C-alpha cells in the first residue's frame, strides 16, 4: 500500500515523500510475470493528494477522442480514448444486446418432406440474418408481423442428366436449398414503400437443407423487430469487443542476439531491429499489434530489460457486423441508445425532485 507524507515548510504545505509511481498507478495496467497490477480504478476525487480527479466536462471534451483505425463493409476497428472502462463496456453491451434488428420470429411449415425435423429447420431459419433496416419499422405487439418471407421449393430429377453420372448436382434440380431461395412477400403497399430496401437474407449461400426428388419445402416466415437481450437472433454483430492499448517500454538498449530473441517474443511487427553503427538494436515499432502473451518474461536475461503495460483509458474496439447494417451505423445507433438511457435517467431524477 502506498502512502504520502506532507510536512510544513515556510508556512506552506510541501510534499516530502511523493507517492511512488502515482502516474503509473493512475494511467497504466502493469503486466507482471505472475500477475497483473493496477487493474482497479483509482482516479476518483481525493484519492491522491495534489491530483484533481473531480469530473470536469471541459477537461473530458479536451481529452476524449475517437479515431477510426480500419473500416470496411462489415468490420470496424476504432480507438476510443479518454473514457472510463464502465462507459466502454456500456457501448459493447449495447452493441450486443440493445441495437434493434429484424429477424424471423414465427415459422409456419405447410409442407416439409425433407429429412430435417420441423423444429431444427425452424431454428436454422430463425438465425439467418435478414437484410432490412430496423429504423424503418416499429416494435410490434405479440402476434403482429412487420413483413413476410417465403420458402417454396421442390426437388426434381434432371431429364438431361447423363445416365452414367453419380453427381447430385447433375442428377437433380433444387437438391440444395440455400438462403437465396427465400423470397420477400410484400404486405399491402410494402412493395412501393420498401421498393429500394431489397429485403431478404443478408447472405444467399447459407445451406438450409438437402432434398431428393419428390421432397419439397413450403414455409412462410413472419419477421419482427427485436433486440439481442430478448434473443440472440436479433443481435446485429457477430463480435463486439475491446482491449486496452498495449505499451512496451525498453528499459535499456538491447542489441545482438538478445535483440533477435526479443523480437521473437512478440507478435510480428511489434519489435524490429535497426542498424546503428553496425549494431542490430531492438526498437518498439508498433505495440498495438502485441497480444500481451508475456513470452518475454520467460527469459531471465530479458525480463528485467522490458516493461509491459496497457494504457488504462485507451480502448481498441473491434466491431464485426452480421451485414444487416454497416458497422459504423451500428456504433452510431449504440451511442443513440446510450443517450436515450441517460436522458431517461435524468428525467426520472427531475420528476423525483419535483415530487
Tell me how far apart the alpha carbons of residues 21 and 18 are, in angstroms, rounded to a whole number. Answer: 9
Please indicate, yes or no, if residue 205 is contained in any of the structural domains: yes
**Per-residue model confidence as pLDDT tens digits over 195-222:** 888 899 999 999 999 999 999 999 999 9
User: What's the pLDDT score for residue 122?
Assistant: 96
Residue 9 lies in a domain: no
Q: Which helix (H) or strand (E) holds 307?
A: strand 306-321
Q: Does the residue 354 lie in any domain?
A: no
Rounded-to-integer distance, Cα 101 and Cα 321, Å: 12
| CATH number of residue 199's parent domain | 2.170.120.12
Cell reading at 70: 480500419
Among 199, 234, 269, where does a domain finish? 234
pLDDT at 355: 66
Q: Are 334 and 101 in contact (CB under 8 A)?
A: no
Q: Please tell me whether residues 115 and 224 are part of one structural domain.
A: yes
Domain assignment present for 290:
no
**Residues 95, 194 within the same domain:** no
Tell me the pLDDT of the chain (355 aa) as tens digits.
333 333 333 344 344 334 446 777 888 888 988 888 888 877 778 787 878 888 888 988 999 999 999 999 999 999 999 998 889 999 999 999 999 999 999 999 999 999 999 999 999 999 999 999 999 898 888 778 889 999 999 999 999 888 888 888 899 999 999 999 999 999 988 888 888 888 999 999 999 999 999 999 999 999 999 999 999 999 999 999 999 999 999 999 999 999 999 999 999 999 999 998 889 999 999 999 999 999 999 999 999 999 999 999 999 999 999 999 999 999 999 999 999 999 999 999 888 877 6
Residue 125 and residue 147 in one domain:
yes
Record the pTM.
Answer: 0.82
Tens of pLDDT, residues 221-253:
999 999 999 999 999 999 999 999 999 999 999
Domain boundaries, position 65: 17-99+236-251+305-349
Task: Find the Cα–Cα–Cα–Cα dihedral 294, 299, 304, 307, rounded to 10°.
Answer: -20
Domain identity same for 333 and 246 = yes
Assign residue 92 the CATH number of its domain: 3.30.1360.10
Q: Is residue 140 one of the residues assigned to a domain?
A: yes
Q: Where are the alpha helices (DSSP H) in the chain?
A: 22-27, 57-63, 85-97, 118-126, 168-171, 190-193, 256-264, 327-354
DSSP of 124-183: HHHTS-EE--GGGS----TT--SEEEEEEEE-EE-TTS-TT---HHHHEES-EEEGGG-E
> 119 and 36: one domain?
no
Number of domains in the chain: 2
Whether 154 is in a domain gets the answer yes
- Examine the domain organization and report whether 29 and 141 are in the same domain: no
Count of beta carbons in the 10 Å neighbourhood of residue 259? 21
Classify residue 46 as exposed, middle or buried by CB count within 10 Å of its CB (0-12, 13-18, 19+): exposed
- Rounded CA separation 60/82 (Å): 7
Domain shared by 315 and 342, yes or no: yes
Instruction: Measure the CA–CA gap between 206 and 179, rounded to whole angstroms.
Output: 5
pLDDT at 26: 83
Within this chain, do residues 219 and 114 fall inside the same structural domain, yes or no? yes
The answer to the question of residue 226 being in a domain is yes
Q: Is there a single domain that holds both residue 105 and residue 205?
A: yes
pLDDT of amino acid 33:
87
Determine the pLDDT at residue 57: 87
Residue 200 maps to a domain: yes
* Cα–Cα distance list, 246 to 29, 34, 159, 209 (Å): 9, 18, 63, 46
Question: Could you give phi then psi for residue 327, rounded to 5 degrees?
Answer: -60, -35
Is residue 110 located within the same domain as residue 84? Answer: no
- Kindly give, in sequence order, each residue whose CB lies less than 8 Å from that of residue 261, ignoring residues fewer than 6 positions away: 299, 302
Separation between Cα atoms, residue 187 and residue 223, nearest integer Å: 12
- Angle at the Cα of 41 from the Cα atoms of 302 and 2, rounded to 5 degrees: 70
Quick one: 142 exposed, middle or buried, by C-beta within 10 A (0-12, 13-18, 19+)? exposed
Helix or strand or coil: residue 29? strand
Residues 106 and 209 in one domain: yes
**Does one domain contain both 37 and 140?**
no
Domain closes at, from 183, 207, 234:
234
Looking at 234, 267, 287, the residue that finishes a domain is 234
Amino acid at each position: 500500500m502506498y502512502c504520502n507524507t506532507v510536512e510544513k515548510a515556510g508556512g506552506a504545505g510541501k510534499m516530502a515523500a511523493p507517492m511512488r509511481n502515482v502516474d503509473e498507478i493512475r494511467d497504466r495496467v502493469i503486466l507482471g510475470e505472475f500477475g497483473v497490477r493496477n487493474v482497479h480504478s483509482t482516479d476518483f476525487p481525493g484519492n491522491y493528494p495534489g491530483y484533481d480527479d473531480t469530473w470536469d466536462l471541459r477537461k473530458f471534451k479536451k481529452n476524449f477522442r475517437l479515431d477510426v483505425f480500419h473500416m470496411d463493409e462489415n468490420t470496424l476497428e476504432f480507438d476510443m480514448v479518454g473514457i472510463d472502462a464502465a462507459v466502454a463496456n456500456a457501448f459493447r453491451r449495447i452493441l450486443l444486446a440493445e441495437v434493434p434488428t429484424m429477424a424471423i420470429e414465427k415459422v409456419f411449415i405447410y409442407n416439409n418432406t425433407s429429412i430435417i425435423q420441423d423444429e431444427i429447420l425452424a431454428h436454422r431459419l430463425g438465425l439467418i440474418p435478414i437484410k432490412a433496416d430496423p429504423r424503418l419499422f416499429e416494435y410490434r405487439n405479440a402476434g403482429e408481423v412487420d413483413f413476410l418471407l417465403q420458402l417454396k421449393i421442390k426437388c426434381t430429377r434432371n431429364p438431361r442428366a447423363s445416365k452414367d453420372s453419380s453427381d447430385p448436382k447433375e442428377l437433380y434440380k433444387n437438391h440444395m436449398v440455400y438462403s437465396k431461395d427465400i423470397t420477400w412477400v410484400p404486405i399491402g403497399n410494402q412493395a412501393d414503400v420498401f421498393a429500394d430496401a431489397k429485403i431478404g437474407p443478408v447472405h444467399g449461400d447459407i445451406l438450409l437443407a438437402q432434398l431428393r426428388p419428390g421432397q419439397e419445402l413450403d414455409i412462410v416466415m413472419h419477421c419482427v423487430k427485436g433486440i439481442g437481450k430478448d434473443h440472440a437472433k436479433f443481435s446485429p454483430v457477430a463480435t463486439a469487443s475491446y482491449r486496452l492499448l498495449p505499451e512496451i517500454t525498453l528499459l535499456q538498449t538491447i542489441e545482438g542476439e538478445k535483440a533477435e530473441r526479443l523480437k521473437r517474443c512478440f507478435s510480428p511487427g511489434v519489435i524490429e531491429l535497426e542498424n546503428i553503427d553496425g549494431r542490430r538494436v531492438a526498437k518498439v515499432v508498433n505495440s498495438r499489434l502485441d497480444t500481451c502473451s508475456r513470452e518475454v518474461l520467460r527469459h531471465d536475461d530479458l525480463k528485467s530489460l522490458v516493461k509491459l503495460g496497457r494504457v488504462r483509458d485507451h480502448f481498441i474496439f473491434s466491431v464485426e457486423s452480421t451485414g444487416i447494417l454497416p458497422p459504423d451505423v451500428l456504433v452510431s445507433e449504440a451511442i443513440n441508445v446510450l443517450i436515450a438511457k441517460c436522458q431517461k435517467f435524468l428525467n426520472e431524477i427531475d420528476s423525483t425532485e419535483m415530487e
